[in-house]
Structure 1
């Protein structure tokens, strides 16, 4: 949040004078004298160690020089604030930012106290947005402390937050990735995330009261987490079971896959060519817009190729398939591509009841009853493929009746094929209609 009018104006005035001198009187050519210019000071942001270790050595001299100290009540009580320093107890951030901006403009040394590493989902972002010059002295973050207490490496982990925002992206990151740390908040903690992870093979470690005598690390299943009562704030570690044996070679758990997407059909086990062709899959995946934080359903998954490629792009994926043979292929294909796809074996639409709400759905099989059941869950986007033209109009009518913008195109691909004698021909694949339904004002 930007500094208020008074603090911001003072900061702008001071910045205009920055670099004009060191405070000494200066004379212009016409002989007029200027008043001394006060140098703009820097706010020192100091992290207090979440692991309970002694404070960083830089804290003592910073506090000794400070004339303004800002922090939460527990932080102000934990350090020796100089007797002559003013203090601001953090609640709403805007008044504190105004005080800090005014202090910077007046050259008054200021210290901000924070938890752990204040650059990790912390106050540094807000202070930078206000234009304040900062010096940051981090401590061990709560995330690093939680992994250390659990005895786990975390160089391949994703770190997300459910604090002050919709917790669903954090939940879907836990569903999609093998190792995730979540910074929680009241109402968006281990109990609520545990409810959403039931059905996924995860073990959860809940780290409470880090760095205090009441510190506790509990390892639980999602169901146990959902039934538990947890102290705030805490850190939740979500670990795939069995434990992930490694990480991607590029150390980017949710980056675009190194091998790309729209992979050839030969990259998947499938039966009787029952697989979405790569040309069609490229458009379908583009329309689904998978990314970390989203949950995609692949209904009538077949080989699972669409869902697997969504998972390769960071989305959490839930594949629905009624055929036992196809379900085996989905498991094998997900393992071959090293992604975690939750498989639900059963016939849609009945099996869809009780599944977590999706952000996007691919309907690769089933009739209008399946599409109607999907639309009833109100995902942002629905994509379906149809080979029979007589099914297009009823599907479009359902999409529009449900309030979705409907559009589509027919894809007719022709692939290069060799002929005897070294010649090449075009071999046509079956034309497919790709329909997309999009709720207004969605991304």
Structure 2
């Protein structure tokens, strides 16, 4: 007997009153009803087995799989289950043919409807269980509208304080509570006025930028100007070399990158802006350089870059195995570093090493040009225009030798 699909029904704060007849029919026919405590409380008279969905999602998925095999099972979820909801977890666990979704209006839709404002140009940021710094990318881009999912730590007052502390005082803040329920409330605040006002935990925050507020020119998505990064005396990987390095690293979302001898962290930071799901470790032994990395991480709002103070290879021991490694500096320990990388790098992983001196390149090439690696090398020499009286000339930089190696 083939099990029926798991029916996932979105529900609002008005409970059963806000559901379609189709959704109510599924619930009536179900033998097993799953959902959060708040969702299940909407159906006190329902007869059948109830499964509480809590933080232990692995256990919940196992329960739902077993329940679906036994009898018709319905899952209740807030709003649109596929919009920052449990729908994503369900879709990752069950095959598509095992699922059926009946979404409700999402809290973001309701919030903008109450504000009588379109939201096609809004950015949605979840601060639920995430660092409040997750706001910074949208803020730095001058987003005109933002909808924020909150939690007990990142509540409306904390968000207002964060905006003021970072100089983003050209936003007004609206708090939309209990949307769709009998206790629904929408209030509007200037950032400095919200103080420690308490709100229902079921709230969503909407930020609206003042129409006449000045906006700064956002940084490019790729190719950060050198002046946008804190660094010491020109000790930074040049923008064009960074772009080549990223191309050779061939990163994919979710991968682990080691940046060894990170300096200012320019390569790690450039990589971080490609995907927030990358896990990046910037290893640097010099304390002053490490402070620059920390400053740059905060400025660029890239919390998935973790500065590591220490000398490779010893500092690499506690890190997760990498999918890609950039070697920007070795401190005279290159053979030991390459040996550690060879042991820890996942099969098919990539290493990119940038060399300024012939001696360092020669040593690096001798280490990578063997049967364990598929290695190539590229020589790059940039030249930039410089004034020459009333005319211009090209002034050449020192050549950079780039080794690219893939673990076989």
Please give the TM-score of this superposition, normalised by the length of structure 2: 0.56
Q: State the shift of 1:333 in Å.
A: 3.3
Q: State the shift of 1:176 in Å.
A: 12
Say whether the 8 Å CA contact 2:4–2:98 is kept in structure 1.
no
Say whether the 8 Å CA contact 2:34–2:74 is kept in structure 1.
no
Matched, 1:300 2:258: no
* 1:224-278 deviation per Cα after TM superposition (whole angstroms, max 9, x unaligned): xxxxxxxxxxxxxxx99x968679x9x9xxxxx8513223333333334322122
Matches within 5 A, 1:24-423: 45-47=8-10, 55-59=15-19, 61-62=21-22, 65=25, 69=29, 72=32, 74=34, 79=43, 90-91=64-65, 112-116=74-78, 117-119=80-82, 120-121=87-88, 123=90, 129-130=96-97, 136-138=102-104, 155-157=124-126, 178=134, 258-290=219-251, 292-314=253-275, 315-340=278-303, 341-366=305-330, 367-379=334-346, 380-399=349-368, 403-421=372-390, 423=391
Helix, strand or coil: the match of 1:47?
A: strand
Match of 1:424 in 2: 392
C-alpha separation between the residues in 2 aligned to 1:136 and 1:419? 69
* 1:57-98 deviation per Cα after TM superposition (whole angstroms, max 9, x unaligned): 254844664598457554699856799xxxxx95269969xx
Say whether the 8 Å CA contact 1:411–1:431 is kept in structure 2.
yes
Residues 432 and 176 of structure 1: is their aligned pair in 2 closer, same or farther, counting only changes over 3 Å?
A: farther
Match of 2:204 in 1: none
Number of residue pairs the alignment of both structures matches:
293
C-alpha separation between the residues in 1 aligned to 2:31 and 2:285? 56
Say whether the 8 Å CA contact 2:27–2:74 is kept in structure 1.
no
Residues 354 and 408 of structure 1: is their aligned pair in 2 closer, same or farther, counting only changes over 3 Å?
A: same
* 1:287-330 deviation per Cα after TM superposition (whole angstroms, max 9, x unaligned): 23456533322211122211121222233332222222322333
Say whether the 8 Å CA contact 1:363–1:371 is kept in structure 2.
no
Match of 2:177 in 1: none
C-alpha separation between the residues in 1 aligned to 2:339 and 2:102? 54
C-alpha separation between the residues in 1 aligned to 2:20 and 2:301? 49
- What's the C-alpha RMSD, in Å, of the aligned pairs? 4.8
C-alpha separation between the residues in 2 aligned to 1:395 and 1:432? 13
Say whether the 8 Å CA contact 2:325–2:350 is kept in structure 1.
yes
Helix, strand or coil: the match of 2:258?
A: strand
Unmatched runs of 5 consecutive residues or more in structure 1: 9-42, 84-88, 101-110, 142-153, 161-173, 180-206, 208-216, 220-238, 252-256
Unmatched runs of 5 consecutive residues or more in structure 2: 49-62, 108-122, 136-150, 172-206, 208-217
Please give the TM-score of this superposition, normalised by the length of structure 1: 0.52
C-alpha separation between the residues in 1 aligned to 2:371 and 2:128? 36
Say whether the 8 Å CA contact 1:71–1:114 is kept in structure 2.
no
Match of 1:12 in 2: none
Helix, strand or coil: the match of 1:384?
A: strand
Q: State the shift of 1:354 in Å.
A: 1.7
Residues 333 and 113 of structure 1: is their aligned pair in 2 closer, same or farther, counting only changes over 3 Å?
A: closer
C-alpha separation between the residues in 2 aligned to 1:71 and 1:47? 18
Say whether the 8 Å CA contact 1:298–1:363 is kept in structure 2.
yes
Say whether the 8 Å CA contact 1:383–1:434 is kept in structure 2.
yes
| Residues 362-371 or 383-392, more deviating | 383-392
Match of 1:151 in 2: none
C-alpha separation between the residues in 1 aligned to 2:318 and 2:296? 25
Q: State the shift of 1:411 in Å.
A: 0.9
Residues 126 and 319 of structure 1: is their aligned pair in 2 closer, same or farther, counting only changes over 3 Å?
A: closer
